[in-house]
């Protein structure tokens, strides 16, 4: 294979996963890949300078300072791929409290810094960890502008495996042949799903054992984290945001966070209209609130970060004899502002279900399940129930594509009239297995995640690397040569 050059997107703690990936390649004697990394913040900059060399590392939030006052701001954006304002809205914390033109200048500076580094390094592929904000969306845009394919690891939720999407919308590759082996795997999964043997944050069956060996990583002390935070505040002026301080405070002082969440949660728990399954209306649509702000909405559908927009769009599109049942995400009980749920109680046609009513029980009685990008719609689909998403996910195509607000009423009626058949469900699952592999990405620091102890497992990293090599070797086939791909 001709030598490839992979640019890594060093967001959050994903540089630790990539470090293990590089170490595995070197241990295997595989030098077919040259590596570079764009580190969003300074957490792993020095680590990667030692690992790859100084020229192969971009420290984005430090370097972009050089472009903040570049002249001819809008002219610099003439070749920008996508919409910079949409990308700004994907951000969860940084830029949010700045004035509008400062937000635009910050985004432009990030774009110019990223583009200069990419043009200098000339990668053949860009490998992401997770796209959670403006930095990731900027790199996606630069890649599209310069014709560099993106590899975005996308977890298949209940199915447990991961595939490489070519974009931030979890788009499922369409040019892979579906075999009988994939269909057999799909049938086995569906049986396990119907027996309640799976969960949304599932692990691949192949690595569901205690990890025998893992790649090592250092967990910095509180003093090291504090000193590092101060240094980053000096180097990264655009990170000086109120919500960045709040998040850092809660991460380092979990007891304080728990007190805050419990206080707010005690109030939020009291807001509901129905408390039992027996109180559900006869005919209703179901909208389970998604965790927010979170990459699953911010990245693919920033318009719906304010989920009141989604709820209004749905209720305006529903038949007049159908109510909309909304339920809070249990993990958001202590996070969602109190006024949000109270405002729902004043929206005609909306009924709030108590947060701890099992979602699957509500779903089983719903005429249709809707979400922006939530797993609840995949679960409804797997049960043969009507479902629609307002944003892009890897399973959206199985529902006929993203349901736009202008066509939502018709899409709801079509979904109600023709839910997916058993054959369509199995073929959809087989399509997913045709492009995925048994590995996961996760933060070694996230103790609340089931992926945490497997993230740096050597079997997991080996599977990750093998699938990466397979992906960058893949030559797209013409769609007509792959008739088995369609469902």
CA separation for the pair 484, 175 (Å, rounded)? 10
The average pLDDT across 403-422 equals: 95
Q: Which of 436, 287, 433, 446 is nearest to 373 (CA)?
A: 287
Q: Could you tell me the pTM of the whole model?
A: 0.87
Q: Read out DSSP for 12-81?
A: TTHHHHHHHHHHHHHHTT---EEEEEEESSSTTHHHHHHHH-GGGEEEHHHHGGGGTT-SSTTGGGTT-S
- Taking the C-alpha atoms of residue 396 and residue 389, their distance in angstroms, rounded to an integer, is 6
Instruction: State the average pLDDT over residues 220-241.
Output: 66
Strand partners, 284: 323
pLDDT digits (tens, 9 = 90+) for 68-82: 998 888 899 999 999
Q: Quick check: helix, strand or coil at residue 352?
A: strand
Position 373 confidence tier, pLDDT thresholds 50, 70, 90 = very high
Q: What is the pLDDT of residue 17?
A: 95
Q: Are 391 and 290 in contact (CB under 8 A)?
A: no
Give residue 268's pLDDT band: very low, low, confident or very high (50, 70, 90).
low
The CA dihedral of 11, 14, 19, 25, to the nearest 10 degrees, is: -110
With 60 as the cut, is the pLDDT of residue 480 above it?
Answer: no
For 87-98, the pLDDT digits (tens) are 999 887 667 778
User: What percent of the chain has pLDDT above 90?
Assistant: 63
* CATH of range 277-428; options 3.40.50.2000, 3.90.550.10, 3.40.605.10, 3.40.720.10: 3.40.50.2000
Give the pair of three-digit tokens for residue 244: 């960045």
Q: Write down the pLDDT at residue 192.
A: 93
Mean pLDDT for 263-286 is 82
What are the residue ranges of CATH 3.40.50.2000 in the chain? 277-428
- Classified as helix, coil or strand, 59 is strand
Segment 32-61, tens digit of pLDDT = 999 999 999 998 999 999 999 999 999 999
What is the structure's pLDDT at 149?
97
CA distance 58 to 41: 9
């Amino acid at each position: 294979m001709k030598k490839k050059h992979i640019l890594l997107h060093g967001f959050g703690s994903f540089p630790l996963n990539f470090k293990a990936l590089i170490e595995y390649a070197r241990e295997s004697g595989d030098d077919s890949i040259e590596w570079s990394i764009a580190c969003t913040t300074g957490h792993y900059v020095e680590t990667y300078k030692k690992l790859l060399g100084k020229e192969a590392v971009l420290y984005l939030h430090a370097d972009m300072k050089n472009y903040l006052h570049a002249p001819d701001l809008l002219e610099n954006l003439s070749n920008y791929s996508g919409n910079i304002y949409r990308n700004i809205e994907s951000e969860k914390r940084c830029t949010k409290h700045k004035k509008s033109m400062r937000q635009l200048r910050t985004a432009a500076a990030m774009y110019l810094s990223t583009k200069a580094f990419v043009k200098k390094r000339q990668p053949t592929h860009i490998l992401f960890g997770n796209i959670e904000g403006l930095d990731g969306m900027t790199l996606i845009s630069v890649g599209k502008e310069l014709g560099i394919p993106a590899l975005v690891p996308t977890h298949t939720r209940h199915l447990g495996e991961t595939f490489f999407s070519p974009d931030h919308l979890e788009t499922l590759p369409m040019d892979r042949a579906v075999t009988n082996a994939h269909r057999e795997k799909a049938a086995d999964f569906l049986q396990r799903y119907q027996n309640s043997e799976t969960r949304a944050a599932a692990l691949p069956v192949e690595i569901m054992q205690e990890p025998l060996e893992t790649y090592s990583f250092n967990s910095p002390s509180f003093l090291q984290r504090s000193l590092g935070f101060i240094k980053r505040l000096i180097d990264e002026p655009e990170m000086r945001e109120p919500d960045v301080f709040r998040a850092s405070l809660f991460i380092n002082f979990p007891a304080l966070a728990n007190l805050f969440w419990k206080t707010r949660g005690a109030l939020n728990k009291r807001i509901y209209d129905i408390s039992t399954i027996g109180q559900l209306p006869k005919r209703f649509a179901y909208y389970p609130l998604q965790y927010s702000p979170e990459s699953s909405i911010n990245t693919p559908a920033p318009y719906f970060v304010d989920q009141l927009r989604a709820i209004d769009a749905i209720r305006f599109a529903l038949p007049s004899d159908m109510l909309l049942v909304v339920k809070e995400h249990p993990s958001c009980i202590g996070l969602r502002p109190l006024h949000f749920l109270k405002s729902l109680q004043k929206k005609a046609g909306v009924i709030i279900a108590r947060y701890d009513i099992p979602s699957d029980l509500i779903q089983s009685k719903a005429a249709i399940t809707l979400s922006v990008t939530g797993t609840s719609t995949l679960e409804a689909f797997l049960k043969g129930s009507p479902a629609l998403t307002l944003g892009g996910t890897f399973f959206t195509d199985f529902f006929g594509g993203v349901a736009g607000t202008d066509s939502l009423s018709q899409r709801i009626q079509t979904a109600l009239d023709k839910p997916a058949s058993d054959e369509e469900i199995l073929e959809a699952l087989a399509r997913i297995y045709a492009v995925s592999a048994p590995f996961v990405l996760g933060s070694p620091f996230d103790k609340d995640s089931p992926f945490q102890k497997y993230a740096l497992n050597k079997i997991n990293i080996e599977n990750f690397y093998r699938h990466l090599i397979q992906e960058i070797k893949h030559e797209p086939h013409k769609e007509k040569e792959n008739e088995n791909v369609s469902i």
